[in-house]
A and B are shown apart, each in its own frame.
Chain A
Amino acid sequence: EDQVTQSPEALRLQEGESSSLNCSYTVSGLRGLFWYRQDPGKGPEFLFTLYSAGEEKEKERLKATLTKKESFLHITAPKPEDSATYLCAVGDSNYQLIWGAGTKLIIKP
């Protein structure tokens, strides 16, 4: 069964304290791995797409990496405005997205 698991469920960091979020997946015929950011009361906002193992994408303080079984979202020197829920999704062989439950990130000033 195709599935996506994100860990941890919640992560509290001090401003400037770097860390990583994990997204592990099992899917037959991966058609991309996607990271989204979701702020309270809003819809998810697209961040990155990764297609093959070894690929990396960066945006400001965020860097996403991909292996054959998992992806990491690295957050370097985070700021309070990086606080949000980060969602991971994978595209399956039918080109539909399977979503993880998300990691709630809280950055304390």
Chain B
Amino acid sequence: NAGVTQTPKFQVLKTGQSMTLQCAQDMNHNSMYWYRQDPGMGLRLIYYSASEGTTDKGEVPNGYNVSRLNKREFSLRLESAAPSQTSVYFCASSPVTGTANYGYTFGSGTRLTVV
């Protein structure tokens, strides 16, 4: 099925460890996004990529880096994980940047725990 695929689905890290969350979409979308979702809060944008070759900071970029590897793939890296980064991470894509009638397509998420 067409959509957004995220790996891994679950991960436990020790404080200070690094990891990369992978995201791939097969809908030929130009824009991709990384969000985090915490209990009682709305989704918060970490980084986004309006098109292949560009990336921009969102609301909460500190402690994260991203790479838009090609049009399909957009990865999120935690260089030195902290307990405050315990969250559920979602990747999303859209045909173009910003808002439109078709909305964003989300992956199923990565549940990350940092101990």
Contact = CB atoms under 8 A, between A and B. Distances in A.
A99 B99 contact: no
Given A97-B45, A100-B42, A101-B40, A41 B108 contact: yes
Contacts, number: 58
B51 to A, nearest CB: 14
Interface in A1-25: 4
Interface string B64-103: 0000000000000000000000000010100001111111
Contact of A49 (B58, B90, B99): B99
B19 interface: no
Dominant secondary structure at the B interface: loop
Interface of B: 4, 40-45, 58, 90, 92, 97-109
Dominant secondary structure at the A interface: strand
B102 A46 contact: yes
Interface residues of A, number: 24
Contact of A43 (B41, B58, B100, B109): B109
A49 B101 contact: yes
Contacts of A78: none
Interface in A84-109: 87, 89, 91, 95-102
Given A96-B45, A99-B42, A99-B43, 5 more contacts: A44-B104, A45-B106, A89-B42, A99-B44, A102-B42
Contacts of B107: 43
A79 to B, nearest CB: 23
Given A41-B108, A100-B42, A95 B92 contact: no
